[in-house]
Amino acid sequence: MRLASFQITNFRSINDSGSIDSSQITAILGRNDSGKSNLLRALHSLNPTEGLAPLSPIKDFPRHRRLEECTGDTPVVHTRWALDESERAALAAIFPRATGVRHVTASRGYDTVRTAGFEGLADLSIDVSDIKGKVRKIVPAVKAAAEKVAEEAKALLEQEADAFDAAMIASPDFIKWSAGAVKATQALRKALAVAGAELSDKQEQMLVELEELSLAIANDKPALDQARAWVIEKLPTFIYVDEYPSLPGRQNIADHLVRKGWGQATPGQQSFEKLCKAAGLDLQQLQDLLEKNDQATRHQLVNRAGSVVTAEIRRLWKDRPLKVRFNLDGPHLDTLVSDPNDAYEVEVNLDERSRGFQWFFSFYVAFFADTKGGRAEDAILLLDEPGLHLHPHSQADLLAHFEKDFGNQIVYTTHSPFMVPTHRVDAVRTASLDQVRGTTVSNAAEGDERTLFPLKAALALSRGVSEPAVVKPEPVKAVAVKAEFGKTAAAKPAAATEATAKPAKPVKAVEVAAVVEAAPTAVAAPVAAPVAVKQEPAKPAVVENAKPADEAAPVVAAVVPPAPIAAPAPAEAVVSVMPETVKPVVVESVNPVETPANAVNEHADGELTQAA
């Protein structure tokens, strides 16, 4: 049986969750205190491995409602299950009317009573006209046969034929009708046998069909009860886990065997027992070998066990390749974990490993032992916030572990984007808490921003991994800046940076085109005068010198922020350029002419130009 959906009502923060679809892996997202854990706890109560127990109205009934509203029949859990082909055949054999049923239901309230139902169950009905037609042919045939028998047998046969005719008149109460029909059919057959009368094959077949119909209806209620019991018996158990017991790295084998024999094993010892099952270790065998002083065989057994566990941990734990080794120290067994590398190998007790690895190791041990022929082999696992202490990549590995290594259905809650199955978004459910409606669940992943954040983040991360980033170049803006040649002067930061240094004597004025591009390198052309470029984190600037007098060789200087670049040449003129960051600038050079340096500012007509 596979859980198809479930619905929780009248439990803690839940008035009515709505129907929650379930798949092989079902993730429930929601904010803190939105009632996610309550959903799992209520579902677990339907068929826990610890045995069915009544629910507490004081503790479990919604606090904002009066206790008088809660009775033993108040519904809490309603589940819907899909049957496979073999299960459908088994159900039909028990309950013929259930032939064709593909889904069954199971529910419970606050008492320990569970009920089962059948979807698509055919109504209990009879074909009245068909019955009448068969009776009209059988009764005259019986009376005709009575004419051929002895007088005393004739009266009895005619009497039973009349009784059969009356009993076969259909009534709305099919169960009551079937009981009378079965009795009348059996009495008629007995009278025919006593009289030695026989019916034709066709009439005999009609009588058989009426007899089977009446028997089927008479047995319907017992068969229905039996089928309901079969559904409850076939329900998978639920295992709810919110905390995983610690697994001590050092155990006393003799003490463990004694406590196990008394039925007083601690949670840590129970986990140790599961570890031994996963490793293939027989603790009683190790103890017997110790008493025989056969240390060689003991060490061979634990070495093999360590290799088995190491192979599984390396398959599942992708964070780094670890090695698990079991060490015997007299009656004690130590679980050691090491990080092999090229230089050295650090080996520590399991107790000293990170909390994340200890959690993962405990999870692996617990569910390997329980799902491989253990109590959880066919169980449904209900996990509350699994993998909280794991690295994001390890959480993704855990999710893959759920899907690949478990045949069990798993329903879990999470806040982590790395535990959201983005490749199966149809398996994601969202829980929301409303002050009036209580906790509700959406199968379509609906909710507020906080509720949906893990899903949105997971989808964004998924797209980021699968799609390369595309960088769009920004438009280039050119800025014209007036400059003066001579001694180096400090530039003033402004929309257009201006150099105001006064040279000692007139020099040849040149126009300098500063080209700033987003390329990783810059090329500087030879210049007649050194160009000093000064930068600041602002827009790249362009220096233009207006109204040159004499012709001079054009000068182009390429500047790449943020490092200043000086073009080598004989020193005569200095231009200070302070570009802004981010957007490249392109400036063109014109033919300069000779003019006094102090006239540069007076005749400059630099304008802001927009680069194409």
For 342-356, the pLDDT digits (tens) are: 667 788 999 888 888
Q: Examine the pLDDT at 535 and tell me if it is beyond 50.
A: no
Q: How many CA within 13 A on the CB side of residue 456? A: 9
Q: Would 237 be classed as within a structural domain?
A: no
Last residue of a domain, one of 445, 470, 495: 470
Q: Examine the pLDDT at 134 and tell me if it is beyond 60.
A: yes
Position 461 confidence tier, pLDDT thresholds 50, 70, 90 = confident
Phi, then psi, of 380 in degrees rounded to 5? -100, 125
Q: Please report, rounded to a whole number, the percentage of residues in the chain having pLDDT higher than 90.
A: 43
Q: Examine the pLDDT at 145 and tell me if it is beyond 80.
A: yes
281 with 320, same domain: the answer is yes
Residue 263: give the domain boundaries.
252-349
5 with 95, same domain: the answer is yes
Q: How many helices (H) and strands (E) does the chain have?
A: 16, 20
Q: Would 171 be classed as within a structural domain?
A: yes
154 with 224, same domain: the answer is yes
Instruction: Name the residue among 492, 501, 506, 484 with its Cα closest to residue 603.
Output: 484
Question: What's the average model confidence in pLDDT over 372-395?
Answer: 84
Q: Please report, rounded to a whole number, the percentage of residues in the chain having pLDDT higher than 70.
A: 74
Q: Would 60 be classed as within a structural domain?
A: yes
341 with 415, same domain: the answer is no
481 with 410, same domain: the answer is no
For 75-98, give the DSSP string: EEEEEEEE--HHHHHHHHHH-GGG
CA distance 524 to 34: 64
Phi, then psi, of 210 in degrees rounded to 5? -65, -40
CA distance 71 to 83: 32
Position 374 confidence tier, pLDDT thresholds 50, 70, 90 = low
Cα distance between the two ends of the chain: 69
Q: Examine the pLDDT at 506 and tell me if it is beyond 50.
A: no
The whole-number pLDDT of residue 483 equals 43
User: What are the residue ranges of helices labelled H in 422-531?
Assistant: 449-466
Q: Would 585 be classed as within a structural domain?
A: yes
How wide is the angle at C-alpha 41 spanned by C-alphas 36 and 45, nearest 5°?
150
434 with 480, same domain: the answer is no
What CATH number corresponds to the domain at position 52?
3.40.50
Position 524 confidence tier, pLDDT thresholds 50, 70, 90 = very low
Q: Examine the pLDDT at 438 and tell me if it is beyond 70.
A: yes
The whole-number pLDDT of residue 464 equals 67
94 with 8, same domain: the answer is yes
Least confident residue range of 296-305, 309-318, 459-468: 459-468
Q: How many other C-beta atoms are found inside a 10 Å radius of the C-beta of residue 372?
A: 11
CB-count burial class (<10 Å; 0-12, 13-18, 19+) for 185: buried
**Greatest extent of the chain over all pairs of C-alpha atoms, in Å:** 159
Q: Would 245 be classed as within a structural domain?
A: no
How wide is the angle at C-alpha 392 spanned by C-alphas 387 and 397, nearest 5°?
70
Q: Examine the pLDDT at 16 and tell me if it is beyond 60.
A: yes
CA distance 547 to 311: 82
Position 427 confidence tier, pLDDT thresholds 50, 70, 90 = very high
2 with 111, same domain: the answer is yes
Q: Would 357 be classed as within a structural domain?
A: no
Question: What's the average model confidence in pLDDT over 422-427?
Answer: 90
509 with 556, same domain: the answer is yes
Return the beta strands (E) in 164-278 as ranges. 238-241, 250-252
Per the DSSP assignment, residues forming a β-bridge with 19 are: none
Asked whether 195 and 149 are in contact (CB, 8 A), the reply is yes
For strands 14-16 and 238-241, give the pairing.
Answer: unpaired
Task: Report which residue type is found at 606.
Answer: G
Q: Examine the pLDDT at 606 and tell me if it is beyond 50.
A: no
95 with 172, same domain: the answer is no
> For the chain, what is the domain count?
4
Q: Would 244 be classed as within a structural domain?
A: no
The whole-number pLDDT of residue 342 equals 61
Last residue of a domain, one of 417, 452, 470: 470
What CATH number corresponds to the domain at position 161?
1.20.1440
The whole-number pLDDT of residue 520 equals 41
Average pLDDT, the chain: 79
Last residue of a domain, one of 312, 334, 349: 349
Instruction: Name the residue among 135, 134, 158, 133 with its Cα closest to residue 145.
Output: 158
The three-state secondary structure class of 117 is strand
Q: Would 70 be classed as within a structural domain?
A: yes
User: What is the sign of the dihedral through the CA atoms of 233, 236, 240 and 246?
Assistant: positive
475 with 608, same domain: the answer is yes
What's the token pair of residue 25?
């892996």
488 with 602, same domain: the answer is yes
Question: What's the average model confidence in pLDDT over 394-403?
Answer: 88
